[in-house]
């Protein structure tokens, strides 16, 4: 796996230290509680189809914004109020990648879903959560390419 931004690595290390399913669930619920929906200054419903994360059962949407100093801010909308796993992952990604370089986010591996959730998710949920990570990486790669001047 590629080197992760320090902030994201620290979050993942916290998940790595958990020994029981209950501990993991408590930390995930804490992150789900920290989730903040995309601000109206970025997007309002109905959200555009091209922002929708494929396969996500919680109807997640993603915006990857480049800050004036070149780093990233991620915004998510989660339409399903019961989508706690999607909200937790969105909060982890948004917090862990805040102010990271586009290249760092573009190199994200879907392995982080395993580090966070272990095998405690259904195949369908796993597909959606993995798609969230893939879409973050793909969108960050687009930002990186736009920021790199043509030679």
Range of lowest pLDDT (38-52, 76-90, 113-127): 113-127
Range of lowest pLDDT (115-119, 122-126, 144-148): 144-148
pLDDT in tens, 53-96: 999 999 999 999 999 999 999 999 999 999 999 999 999 999 99
**CATH node for 6-42+51-147:** 3.90.1010.10
Q: Is the pLDDT of residue 147 over 80?
A: no
Phi, psi of 74 (to 5 degrees): -105, 140
Q: Are strands 60-66 and 72-78 parallel, antiparallel or unpaired?
A: antiparallel
CA–CA separation, 72 vs 93, rounded Å? 11
Give the model's pLDDT for residue 40: 98
Q: Is the pLDDT of residue 26 over 90?
A: yes
């Amino acid at each position: 796996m590629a080197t992760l931004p320090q902030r994201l690595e620290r979050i993942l290390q916290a998940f790595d230290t958990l020994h029981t399913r209950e501990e993991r669930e408590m930390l995930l619920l804490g992150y789900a509680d920290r989730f903040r929906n995309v601000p109206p200054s970025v997007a309002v419903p109905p959200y555009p189809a091209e922002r929708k994360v494929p396969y996500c059962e919680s109807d997640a949407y993603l915006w990857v914004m480049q800050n004036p100093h070149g780093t990233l801010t991620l915004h998510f909308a989660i339409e399903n109020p019961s989508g706690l796993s999607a909200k937790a992952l969105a909060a982890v990604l948004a917090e862990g990648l805040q102010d990271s370089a586009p290249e760092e986010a573009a190199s994200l591996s879907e392995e982080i879903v395993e580090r966070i959730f272990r095998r405690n998710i259904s195949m369908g949920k796993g597909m959606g959560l993995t798609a969230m990570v893939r879409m973050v990486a793909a969108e960050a790669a687009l930002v990186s390419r736009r920021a790199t001047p043509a030679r």
